[in-house]
Amino acid sequence: MFRHTNTNKKPLCLGLRGGIVVLLLGLFSSALHAETLRLGVLSFRPLAETVVRWQPLADYLGQQLNGRNVELIAANYEELESKIQAGALDFVLTNPAHYVMHRNQSGFSGPLATLLVEEHGYLLSQFGGVVLTLAEYRHINSLNDVPGRRIAAVSRGSLGGYQAQAMALLEEGAPLPNQADLLFTGMPHDRVIDALLTGEVEVGFVRSGVLESLLADGRLAPGQLRVLGSAQGQRYPLALSTELYPEWPLLVLPHVDAELSRLVAAALLLFEPDDQLAAAMGIRGFAVPADYSTVEALARSLRLPPFDQPPSFTWRDVWDKHRYWLVALLVCTGLLLLSTVLLLFYYRRALVAGTQTRQLNRALGESEALLRQITETIREVVWVRSPEQMLYINPAYEQVWGRTTESLYANPDSFIDSAHPDDRERIRQALMDDGVGKQPFDEVYRIVRPNGEVRWLHARSYPVVDDQGRVLRNAGTAVDISDMKGIEEELARSNADLEQFAYVVSHDLRQPLRMVNSYVQMLQRRLEGQLDGDTRQMMQFAIDGAARMDQMLLALLDYSRVGRKGQPIAELESQAVQDEALHFLQPLLEEAGAKLEIEGEWPALMASRDEMTRLLQNLIGNALKYRLAERPLVVQLRGERRGEHWRCCIVDNGIGIPPEQIPRLFQIFQRLHSREQYEGNGIGLALCRRIVERHGGSIWVESAGEGQGSCFCFELPLQGPDGLRAGVCCAVGG
């Protein structure tokens, strides 16, 4: 804008203007043609009035374009629009909103020029809106106080009379006025002021300049009205509450030649403000094209055409406008997703864990069923008990004990009570050793069934302890070994019968044998001198045979006497046994010139004294007998304690034994050598085996072969045979 001053420069300006246009026309006359130019003007008043107002402009342009015919076409909005669409216009003078719409819809270029008007002595190409209230309304002080008040405005389509103010409210962050609060007065703007002054409304929207006009006319007293939200920083001479918006533009349609456009633009800009023509049109000429972006921004914000349709947003627009919200939304969505994934993960893990637990439980159930099936079908008794109570006992208990499992659950100590009176104390002691169930239990004993039947049992139990060694439970088994015991007893009886038989046979046979021997010897003496040599030799054979048979019967007698006629098993010193045996063998030792080496431990043990002496005597005697003539004999006696056992070995450096012959050495009457080579009857080692086995031990021989010497060993339990420890020894072997 600039201040208009009435000067005397007109002739000079006109001259300059005319000269330049003529010069341009001369230069570009080839571009001009005789076609009529069509200048459309938006008419919001009666068409004739508009034609009268703007005809001078058409005439002026025709004159400036070298007499070219310029037709003025005044049209209301719809007509003007249809003519634009039909290409029936070349230039258009219209309002800013109309221009902005075409710029966005039809690709119109910028306007050629913007109208210049005079307001109260100022030349202005921009205008704005004013928000007014009565000066006395102290409760309305800013634009933010406007919403909710009754408001008078010119019309919804008026840029200076409504839209500019609405835009200002939005920019202040205030909401748009409600429809119910609005009173549209229509033109002229004075009506708005009237509504305000009559108190019909509290706020009025008018175009800039209206206030000053009313003040100048004296229709308003100074200070009667107050301007709200005066636009700070705007270099504008009139009262203003809003952004500034440019005046009407003169547009050129896209089909118009660029050169012609330039000439028209030049002609427009050369229009003098104080020109008669300008005055006739109520304007002061044209200014260089103003910036219409404020109009466009307003149209966008208020959703005016062409922005009344929902805008097509690109992602970029969304990002630019709402980036902070978007980031926050993305973060929230991410967190939500993350927590969902985590939740799913843990849910799945729990599901898997649940499935695994179910599988484990099923496997456990199956294994338990299998275990139960086994324990409930076997004939052996299986039980588990805690120090206080019986936890489990299988049905075999009822078969073996002849009592119900319920009775045992009710009274776990009936386990001891049911033992045979002769065994009961021993069982109680075994169980009570170091407290109930703290030691493994392994006993053979008898029980008495309720019907009085006696059964033999082999019972074992083991403590189940925790980390601190506390006994949690005892698990045990019991096997009914009565049948085996029966067989054992039968065997023992049969052995006893056999021994008796052997004894009787060997004892009783000796008598007739001795008779045979005596009579043959008597015959030999009587017939002395009458017998020839052969007959005498035959008689001698008979006497020798009888003597050998007697020896064999004696040996058999000895064999059958083991365990029957000897001393009972009792504690003895092995050292004493060794001394006794060596005492008997002294003459033989001296005869053989043997070197005797005795080493190791010779402890006390439970054994039959004369049988042990016999055992050592036989083995040492064999070592002396089966020596090599060419090698000085060395005999070692080695004793060694091995846990609960004592091992004794008699080692010689004699003739040795072929390994393949070893298995038959301990059988009765088995010999590896002829009587001519070595005196003997083959019963010594069989006797040794019988003695050792009766004591619950074992005997064996090792030899590397002929000429390699032999090592005869036996091992005996220090506490005597099992039966002896169980107190039933005598019943079995005695």
- In sequence order, the 6+-apart residues with CB closer than 8 A to the CB of 361 are none
Least gap, CB of 621 to ligand ADP (angstroms): 8
Least gap, CB of 675 to ligand ADP (angstroms): 8
Nearer to ligand ADP, 526 or 673 (CB): 673
Least gap, CB of 650 to ligand ADP (angstroms): 8
Distance of CA 122 to the CA centre of its chain: 82
Contact, 570 vs 606, CB < 8 A?
A: yes
Nearer to ligand ADP, 672 or 726 (CB): 672
Least gap, CB of 506 to ligand ADP (angstroms): 16
Q: Strands 117-119 and 381-385, how do they pair?
A: unpaired
- Single-letter residue type at 147: P
Q: How far apart are CA 31 and CA 261, in angstroms?
A: 11
Cα 329–Cα 334–Cα 338 angle in degrees, nearest 5: 150
Least gap, CB of 627 to ligand ADP (angstroms): 8
Residue 546 neighbours by CB distance under 10 Å: 20
- In sequence order, the 6+-apart residues with CB closer than 8 A to the CB of 130 are 165, 205, 206, 207, 208, 210, 211, 227, 239, 240, 241, 242
Least gap, CB of 620 to ligand ADP (angstroms): 9
207 DSSP β-pair partners: 129
Residue 587 tokens read as: 């003459």
Nearer to ligand ADP, 213 or 710 (CB): 710
Cα 298–Cα 304–Cα 310 angle in degrees, nearest 5: 105
Nearer to ligand ADP, 308 or 597 (CB): 597
- Single-letter residue type at 623: A
Least gap, CB of 682 to ligand ADP (angstroms): 4
Least gap, CB of 693 to ligand ADP (angstroms): 15
Q: How far apart are CA 394 and CA 383, in angstroms?
A: 7
Least gap, CB of 661 to ligand ADP (angstroms): 8
Least gap, CB of 619 to ligand ADP (angstroms): 8
Sheet holding 645-652, edge to edge: 595-600, 634-642, 645-652, 710-717, 698-702
Contact, 187 vs 199, CB < 8 A?
A: no
Residue 174 neighbours by CB distance under 10 Å: 18
Least gap, CB of 637 to ligand ADP (angstroms): 13
In degrees rounded to 5, what are phi and psi of residue 509?
A: -70, -25
Helix (H) or strand (E) run with residue 301 in it:
helix 293-301
- Single-letter residue type at 223: G
Residue 132 tokens read as: 């007014």
Least gap, CB of 677 to ligand ADP (angstroms): 9
Based on the number of CB atoms within 10 Å of its own CB, is 401 exposed (0-12), middle (13-18) or buried (19 or more)? buried
DSSP at 200: S
Q: In 3D, which of 217, 214, 169 has the Cα closest to residue 194?
A: 214
Nearer to ligand ADP, 564 or 673 (CB): 673
Could you list the residues that contact ligand ADP (CB under 6 A)?
622-623, 626, 652, 654-655, 657, 665, 671-673, 680-685, 710
Nearer to ligand ADP, 608 or 622 (CB): 622
Nearer to ligand ADP, 290 or 699 (CB): 699
Nearer to ligand ADP, 58 or 555 (CB): 555
Q: How far apart are CA 488 and CA 731, in angstroms?
A: 10
Least gap, CB of 672 to ligand ADP (angstroms): 3
Residue 629 tokens read as: 């003539």
Q: How far apart are CA 315 and CA 411, in angstroms?
A: 86
Nearer to ligand ADP, 390 or 655 (CB): 655
Least gap, CB of 568 to ligand ADP (angstroms): 25
User: Measured between alpha carbons, how far is residue 271 from residues 16, 28, 67, 247, 280 in Å?
Assistant: 11, 20, 17, 16, 13
Contact, 255 vs 87, CB < 8 A?
A: yes
Nearer to ligand ADP, 163 or 622 (CB): 622
Residue 664 tokens read as: 């038959």
Q: In 3D, which of 1, 227, 206, 207 has the Cα closest to residue 121?
A: 1
Contact, 75 vs 93, CB < 8 A?
A: no
Nearer to ligand ADP, 88 or 634 (CB): 634
Nearer to ligand ADP, 92 or 685 (CB): 685
Nearer to ligand ADP, 690 or 695 (CB): 690
- In sequence order, the 6+-apart residues with CB closer than 8 A to the CB of 184 are 152, 153, 154, 155, 156, 162
Least gap, CB of 542 to ligand ADP (angstroms): 23
Contact, 143 vs 240, CB < 8 A?
A: no
- Report cis status (omega within 30 of 0) of the bond before 111: no
Nearer to ligand ADP, 13 or 628 (CB): 628
Q: How far apart are CA 282 and CA 299, in angstroms?
A: 27
Nearer to ligand ADP, 5 or 551 (CB): 551
Nearer to ligand ADP, 143 or 619 (CB): 619
In degrees rounded to 5, what are phi and psi of residue 152?
A: -105, 135
Nearer to ligand ADP, 130 or 692 (CB): 692
Least gap, CB of 712 to ligand ADP (angstroms): 7
- Single-letter residue type at 601: E
DSSP at 30: G
Least gap, CB of 591 to ligand ADP (angstroms): 16
